[in-house]
A = this chain, B = another copy of it.
Amino acid sequence: MKMVQPELDEGIPLEKVKEFSLEDLLGMAIKAEIGARRFYESLAERIGIEELKRKIEWLAGEEKKHEELLRRIYANTFPGKEIVFPKEHIGPELQPVARELRDVGDIVDLIRWAMKAEEIAAKFYAELEKRVDTEEKKRLMRYLSDMEWGHYYNLKAEYELLLDWEMYSQMMHVGP
């Protein structure tokens, strides 16, 4: 029996980052940003709570910008090279939500996995900071790490309220 939910692929632990080349790691990062964007897009489509839907869409847009930024860093670091996406990935990788969400409990679960993924992404970029060669690239890795921490706390805030659905719906003026 499969115990892991379909939207979250656990991946390999952060400590393994040392075993990969920078090229591989940047490829993983780009793949993770694409995965996160698709996850948020598919989640937003399935959420009826307007306020939360907008927040999730905002996150999708952020990950899109990160992907573009990483592609520029890659092109700058490995000029003329095609990006190779490694099969492995560090930390949880989010997959698109392909099922109907039955209730708020389903949303709560997905937000919790997204938090986990954002947390690992933040730590992953902090690791990448040590691996890139110029002060400029280190700065960009700090930028990405901080942004993912921002997402983490933003999701954590929503998560906290969603745990008490009655209050959430009242506070967010959901319903009649």
| Residues of chain A whose beta carbon lies under 8 Å from any beta carbon of chain B | 69, 72, 135-136, 139-140, 142-144, 146-147, 149-154, 156-158, 160-161, 163-164, 167, 171
Contact = CB atoms under 8 A, between A and B. Distances in A.
Given A69-B171, A153-B153, A161 B147 contact: no
B171 A140 contact: yes
A157 B142 CA distance: 7
Given A136-B167, A171-B140, A154 B161 contact: no
Interface residues of A: mostly helix, strand, loop or mixed? Answer: helix
A132 B151 CA distance: 27
A108 to B, nearest CB: 13
- How many copies of the chain does the oligomer comprise? 2
A171 B139 CA distance: 12
Given A72-B171, A139-B167, A150-B150, 14 more contacts: A139-B160, A139-B163, A142-B160, A143-B157, A143-B158, A143-B160, A146-B153, A146-B154, A146-B156, A146-B157, A146-B160, A147-B157, A150-B153, A150-B154
